[in-house]
Chain A
Amino acid sequence: MEKQEYLDLYYQMVMIRLLEEQAAQLYQQGKIGGFLHLYIGQEAVSTGLISVREPRDRVITAYRDHGVAINCGIPATEVMAELLGKATGCSQGKGGSMHMADVKKNFWGGHAIVGAHLPIASGLALGDKYAGNDNVTICMFGDGATNIGYFHEALNLSKVWNLRVLWVCENNQYGMGTAVERASAVSEIRQKAEGYCIPNSRVDGMDILAVRQAASQAFEFIRKESTPYFLEIMTYRYRGHSMGDPERYRASEEVRKWQENDAIGIYARHLLDDKIASQEELDQLDALVEAEVAEAVRFAEESPEPAPEALYEHIYVDQQFGIIT
C-alpha cells in the first residue's frame, strides 16, 4: 500500500468522526430533524471494507449510513446538506439521515427498515449475474437485523442462486438497547451463515487493516467462486442508538473500555510506530478535516431549502400519471 493510501484511510475515518460530532451538535441545536444514528466508533468497518471494493461493486447499507456515504465518495458538503434537509443534499433533502444514496458512486442507500434491504441486495446481485459480470454487492447490516425474516430469506436466496453478495454483519453488540445474547439464539452471528452453507469469518472491526485484509480475501473468493460470503465484523458504537438514547442498557465503563481501543487511535499509533506518517502529518490531516467539516456546515446552512414543487416530484417516473391532489 502506498503512503497516500494509508493517509487516506486515516483521513476518511477522522472525517466521519468529526462530521458526526458536528452533526450531533447541530441536532441539539434543532437544525437536524428526525432520527440521527451516529457511526462514531465503527468508522474502521466501513472505511476498511469500502476501501478495497472496485468502483463497479455496489454498496447498500442500513440507516446508520453517514460513514458509508463518506466512504463511497459523497462529499461532506452533500452529506451535511442532506442532514439539514437542503436541496443540495445527496437525496435533495427528501431522504434525511437514514436515506442517503448516490447511485453514480454505486452507493444504493441508506435503508431504514431493519433487514429490508437484504433481499434488495440479492436483487442487485441478481442483476449483475443476469448481465454476466462478476461485480460484488456489499450489503451491510447490524446484528439486530439477523433476527428478522428478511435476513434468512435473503441469505437463502443468495446461496440458492449463487449470487455475488458480501454479507457484512456489523456486530456492535446491541440491537438498539438489546444485547446480542438477549435477542439472538447464537451470539456468534457468523454461525447463522453456516445454516445456508455460506462461507464465513469473523474479524476485529477496530483494526482497519484487518478489516481490509478480510474484505479483500472475501472479494477474491466471491468473484472466483461465484458465491456469497459472510463477514461478521466486531465493533462498537460509542454513542447511543440514536440521539436521545438514555443508554440504560450498558455501563459507561463498558463504553470507556472500548474507547481505549479506539479504531482511529489504534491506526494512528500504527502509522506512527511503523513510521508511515509523522505526528505532524496526522495533525495536518486533522486540521484539514476540521476545515472541511466547517465548510460543509457553512455550505449546508447557506444552501436553499427544496423548492415547494419538489413535494410532488419523483412520485412516478412517468409524468402521465400526474399529481393526485
Chain B
Amino acid sequence: MARITMREAISQALWEEMERDPSVFILGEEVGVWGGTYAVTKGFYDHFGPDRVRDTPIAEAAIIGATIGAALTGLRPVAELMTINFAFSAMDHIVNEAAKLHYMFSGQFVMPMVIRAVGGGGRQLGATHSQTPDAVFAHFPGLVVVAPGTPEDAKGMLKSAIRSSDPVLFIEHATLYQVRGEVPEGDNLVPLGKSKIQRPGSDVTIITYSKMLEISTKAADQLAKEGIEAEIVDLRSLRPLDMDPVIASFKKTNRAVVVEEGWRSYGVGSEVVARIYEQAFDYVDTPVRRVAQKEVPLPYNRNLEQMALPQVDDVIRAVKEVL
C-alpha cells in the first residue's frame, strides 16, 4: 500500500492503462503541452507523444463528438473536460449521442469511452464554474456516471472505466486532488456501479459520495466523540445506483441522512430517499433528512459561498434530527 494523493491516483490509472493498451489515448483542453489544468497529465505528452495526448481547441462539442467517433472505431479515448461546467457545451453529445447510440441502433454502435470532468464548488470561482450537476447526467439511461471519493476508488474505478465498453462520465472533485489515501499497489480494479460502506456504524446511516464523503467523515468523527456511531455508505456510482448496501445499512439503523454537494431539488438525495421509502418503508423510524447545497447560484464571496455549501455542522445537525 502506498499513500498517495487523489491526483496521483488518477494520473497513475491513466498512465498504467495507456502503457497497457495502445488503443487508450487522451484528449482535451491543455492535457498535453500544458500538462493538464489540474496537472493530472503532467509528463504524459513527453512520454506518449502528441498522437496519444491530444491537445484540442476550446470546443467541447468537438471534443466529445470526436471522442464518440473515435470510440466507435474501436479506440478507448479518455476525454478531459476542464470543468464539468463546460459539459453543458457538449450536452447534446453526452446525452443525445453517447447515451443513446448503442440502444438506438440495437447494439451496433459501441462506445468504450471515458469523459473525465472536474466539478464542485468551494474555490471562489463564481456561479458558472462551481457547479455539481452530477444528478443531471445521472438522469440519462445509457450513461455510466461515477464520482469516487477516495484515491483508492479513483484509481481503481478509472481503470475499470477505461476498460468498460460503455460511455462513462468520471466526475472528479477539484478540492479532493490533494487528499491522500492508501492505494493498493498493482492492477487493482474497483467495479463501477457498486456502493461501499466506507465507515461501519450502528446508530445512523449517512449516504454520500465524492467531496461530501470527506465532510461526512469529519462529521462522523465528531459524532463518535459524543457516542454516536454513523455508518457511511459511499455511493461511488450514481448510475447505475447500487442501493443494496444502503438498504442493508438502513434496515440496521432505521435512520438516514443523505449528504450531497449539489442542489437538493431533483437531486441525488431525492432519488436515494425515494428508493429507501420504496424498498424499506417498514424500517423507517423517522423521516430521512437531506443535506445539500442551498438553492442559489454559488456566489464568489468566500463567506457567502461557504454558507451555500454543505458543512460538517450541517451534517451533524441533520444526524441529530433523525436520532
Asked if B250 lies at the interface with its beta carbon under 8 angstroms from chain A, I say no
B105 smallest CB distance to A (angstroms): 5
Q: Flag whether A149 is at the interface (Cβ < 8 A).
A: yes
| Cα–Cα, bound, A315→B102 (Å) | 7
Task: From the candidates A92, A131, A156, name the one contacting B62 in the complex (CB within 8 A).
Answer: A156
State the Cβ distance, B169 to closest chain A Cβ, in Å: 13
List chain A residues, Cβ under 8 A from B286.
none
Is A41 on the interface with B (CB-CB < 8 A)? no
Say yes or no: A130 contacts B193, CB within 8 Å.
Answer: no
Task: State whether B66 touches A91 (Cβ < 8 A).
Answer: no
A116-B96, A321-B166 known; A99 and B104 CB under 8 Å?
yes
A208 to B: closest C-beta gap in Å:
29
Interface contact A113-B105, CB-CB below 8 Å: no
Binary interface encoding of chain A residues 274-314 relative to chain B, with 1 for a CB under 8 A from any of its CBs, else 0: 00000000000000000000000000000000000010011
Q: How far is the CB of A268 from chain B (nearest CB, A)?
A: 35
Max chain B CB contacts within 10 Å: which of A109, A149, A153?
A153
Alpha-carbon gap, A153 to B89, bound state (A): 11
- Bound state CA distance, A120 and B74, in angstroms? 14
Is B103 an interface residue, CB under 8 A from the partner? yes
B70 near A127 with CB under 8 A, answer yes
Bound-complex Cα distance A130 to B54 (A): 11
Select A318's contact among B56, B104, B106, B164, beta carbons within 8 Å: B164
Quick check: is A197 within 8 A (CB to CB) of the other chain?
Answer: no
Report B92-132 CB contacts with A as 1/0, cut-off 8 Å.
11001100011111111110000000000000000000000
Asked whether B59 lies within 8 Å of A127 as measured between CB atoms, the reply is: no
Interface size, chain B (Cβ < 8 Å): 47
Most buried by B among A116, A125, A160, A314: A314
Find chain A residues with CB under 8 A from B67 CB: 123
CA distance A317 to B59 in the complex (A): 28
A134 within 8 A of B: no
Q: Is the CB of A122 within 8 A of B59?
A: no
Within the complex, the shortest CB–CB distance from A318 to chain B, in Å, comes to 6
A93→B93 CA distance, assembly (Å): 23
Using A91-B108, A127-B75, A153-B57 as known contacts, say yes or no to A315 and B164 having CB atoms under 8 A apart: no
Q: Is the CB of B75 within 8 A of A108?
A: no
Please give me the residue from chain B that is nearest to A96 by CB atom: B104
Whether the pair A109, B59 counts as a contact (CB closer than 8 A) is no
Interface pair A120/B69, CB less than 8 Å apart: yes
Does B92 lie within 8 Å of A317, measured CB to CB? no
Chain B proximity of A93: nearest CB distance (Å): 8
**Highest count of chain A CB atoms <10 Å: which of B66, B75, B92, B142:** B66
* Residue on B nearest A152 in the bound complex, by CB: B59
Tell me, yes or no, whether A251 is within 8 Å of chain B by CB: no
- The verdict on B12 contacting chain A, using a C-beta distance below 8 Å, is no
* A4: interface (CB < 8 Å): no
Provide the bound-state CA to CA distance between A94 and B108, in Å: 12
Q: A95-B105, A157-B59, A321-B166 are in contact. Are A130 and B70 (CB under 8 A)?
A: yes
Write out the residue numbers on chain A whose beta carbons fall within 8 Å of the beta carbon of B193. Answer: 320-322
CB < 8 Å neighbour of A130 from B51, B65, B72, B92 = B51
Q: A122-B62, A316-B142 are in contact. Are A91 and B104 (CB under 8 A)?
A: yes
Question: What total of chain A residues lie within 8 Å of the partner, measured CB to CB?
Answer: 48
Chain A stretch 214-231: residues in CB contact (< 8 A) with chain B: none
Contact in complex: A122, B69 (CB < 8 Å): yes
Nearest residue in B to A150 (C-beta to C-beta)? B61
Distance A94 CA – B103 CA, assembled complex (angstroms): 8
- Does the CB pair B73–A131 fall under 8 Å? yes
Set of chain B residues within 8 Å of A243, measured between Cβ atoms: none
Enumerate chain B residues within 8 angstroms of A318, measured Cβ to Cβ: 164-166
**Would you call B240 and A322 a contact (CB within 8 A)?**
yes
Instruction: Report A81 CB to chain B, min CB distance, Å.
Output: 12
Residues of B near A95 (CB, < 8 A) are 104-106
- Smallest CB-CB separation from B160: which chain A residue? A318
CA A157 – CA B61 in complex, angstroms? 11
Residue ID in chain B nearest A114 by CB atoms: B92
The verdict on A123 contacting B69 (CB below 8 Å), with A94-B103, A99-B104 known, is yes
Interchain residue pairs with CB less than 8 A apart (20): A94-B106, A99-B104, A101-B105, A111-B97, A116-B61, A119-B69, A121-B69, A122-B69, A123-B65, A123-B70, A124-B69, A126-B70, A150-B61, A153-B57, A153-B59, A161-B54, A313-B106, A314-B102, A316-B144, A322-B240
Q: Could you list 18 further interchain pairs (A-B, Cβ under 8 angstroms) beyond the known A126-B69, A314-B107, A316-B166?
A: A111-B97, A117-B65, A119-B61, A119-B68, A120-B72, A120-B97, A123-B65, A123-B68, A123-B72, A124-B73, A127-B72, A150-B61, A313-B107, A314-B103, A315-B103, A317-B164, A324-B240, A324-B241
The 4 closest A-B pairs by CB, nearest first: A123-B69, A119-B65, A127-B73, A123-B66
Binding site for B on A (CB under 8 A): 91-95, 99, 101-103, 108-111, 113, 116-128, 130-131, 149-150, 153-154, 156-157, 160-161, 310, 313-318, 320-322, 324
